[in-house]
Chain A
Amino acid sequence: MNSTNLETILEGRRSQPHQLIEVLQDVQDVYGYIPKDVMGIVAKELGVPLMEVFRVAKFYKAFTLKPRGKNVITICTGTACHVRGSQLLIDQVQGQLRLKPGDTTKDGLFTVECVNCVGACALGPVVVQNGSYSNHMTPGKLRRAIDKVQGKKKEESPHA
């Protein structure tokens, strides 16, 4: 199935080095990240040196080389959000999921990222969960959102 996916991405784009970024974007959409072996195939099919593919994939922040979790939580740490306490949100996530920003949980459920600004400073602190924006986030709201995904809604209701 994976190879057919790659086949459709590469169709009509073979031997066109200028299509590199578009192809990598599609790969990222399909796989959630850019796997190592896919990079090799892309390099071969587009006629671009592997080094170039690796360099481009490393250069742009939009591309990730590590597998990402099912749920991507993006915490804005821009100036406005920072002032309104985005550090508390990071602490909350770190404590609850035991990971650092940029990492993925072992069960592959969550990836936590920090970005510099999402452009919604008036609504800060902003947390983006799988593309949907949540405004005026608090550690409590964030904890409930994570609990909801983890599927333990009520069992720990008297939470410390």
Chain B
Amino acid sequence: MIEEVTLTIDDVLVKAVKGISVLDAAVKSGICIPHLCHVPFLSDIGACRLCIVENVNNGKAKITTSCTLRVQEGMVIRANSEKVLKLRKNIAELLVAHAPNSRAIQDIAVRCGLKEVRYPFHNANCVLCGRCVRYCSEMWQGNAIGFVGRGKDRHVEYPFGKRPDTCKKCNSCVLYCPMSVTPCGEVMKTGEEHLCGKCDSQMAMAEKIPGACVWCETGKSFQCARYA
């Protein structure tokens, strides 16, 4: 017997299967919450922080990532309040400043309403979303790559820097990496990184006509041909 709970997301009553995350429930009901590190059939770690929502409890609003928040009966969630949008925009700004060479991240930044980046660009090639690591270990039981080090030295690596025999050469780590979606224009070189914003017109329309769909395809975290 599948139990269902009722919760409120953005003043809308939403029915969801007990045990799923708030992000899944929202996306299923067509409420847009941008996300990057979430892959539907993998565990969620809340690495990218883009899917933050306000969880209102006893009149107190607490900001948490919706992908790691399980639905509960009578929950009140604000997914697109002013405070959340502002914070999410800032997170997207930091992401795009860290690794601008990805259409996935550029798309998310534009979708979060980012107009300019105030931080210095880094042109890094990893945002530590952990999609590759989780796909490798959970889908293939490969455990060929993982996070190594901590703090600013944290990075994805093979054990001892050598490809182990448990790697099945499935290439999923590349396929699921947001950095493998190249930007619309040519690849940005160090020193000439910028916020792409070529699809800004779509967003401008959405601002003028409230409720208009920008075809971001709810549930796909970024506009690429692959399911992501």
* CA of A55 to CA of B147, assembled, Å: 7
Given contacts A36-B160, A54-B160, contact A49 B137 (CB under 8 A): yes
Interface of chain B: mostly helix, strand, loop or mixed:
loop
| A-chain residues with CB within 8 Å of residue B137 when the two chains form the complex | 49, 51
Mark interface residues in B69-103 (1 if CB within 8 Å of A CB, else 0). Answer: 00000000000000000000000000000000000
Q: Are B160 and A58 in contact (CB under 8 A)?
A: no
Residue among B148, B149, B166 making CB contact with A49, cutoff 8 Å: B166
Asked whether A52 is an interface residue with its Cβ less than 8 Å from the other chain, the reply is yes
- Could you name 15 residue pairs across A and B whose Cβ atoms are closer than 8 Å? A36-B160, A49-B137, A49-B166, A50-B164, A50-B166, A51-B144, A51-B145, A51-B146, A52-B143, A52-B146, A54-B146, A54-B160, A55-B148, A59-B149, A59-B150
| A-chain residues with CB within 8 Å of residue B145 when the two chains form the complex | 51
List the 6 shortest-distance A-B pairs measured between CB atoms, nearest first: A49-B143, A54-B159, A51-B146, A51-B143, A58-B148, A50-B159
| B-chain residues with CB within 8 Å of residue A54 when the two chains form the complex | 146, 148, 159-160
Mark interface residues in A87-112 (1 if CB within 8 Å of B CB, else 0). Answer: 00000000000000000000000000
Task: Give the interface centre of B137, B143, B144, B149 by most chain A CB atoms within 10 Å.
Answer: B143
- Kindly provide the distance from the CB of A29 to the nearest chain B CB, expressed in whole angstroms: 22
- Kindly provide the distance from the CB of A54 to the nearest chain B CB, expressed in whole angstroms: 4
Interface residues on B, range: 10 to 19
| B-chain residues with CB within 8 Å of residue A53 when the two chains form the complex | 159
Residue among A51, A55, A58, A59 making CB contact with B164, cutoff 8 Å: A51
* CA of A125 to CA of B44, assembled, Å: 46
* CA of A146 to CA of B149, assembled, Å: 32
| A-chain residues with CB within 8 Å of residue B147 when the two chains form the complex | 55
Residues facing A in B102-150 (CB within 8 A) are 137, 143-150
| A-chain residues with CB within 8 Å of residue B158 when the two chains form the complex | 51
Q: Which B-chain residue is minimally distant from A50 (CB atoms)? A: B159
* CA of A145 to CA of B166, assembled, Å: 49
* CA of A49 to CA of B149, assembled, Å: 17
Residue among A36, A50, A52, A58 making CB contact with B149, cutoff 8 Å: A58
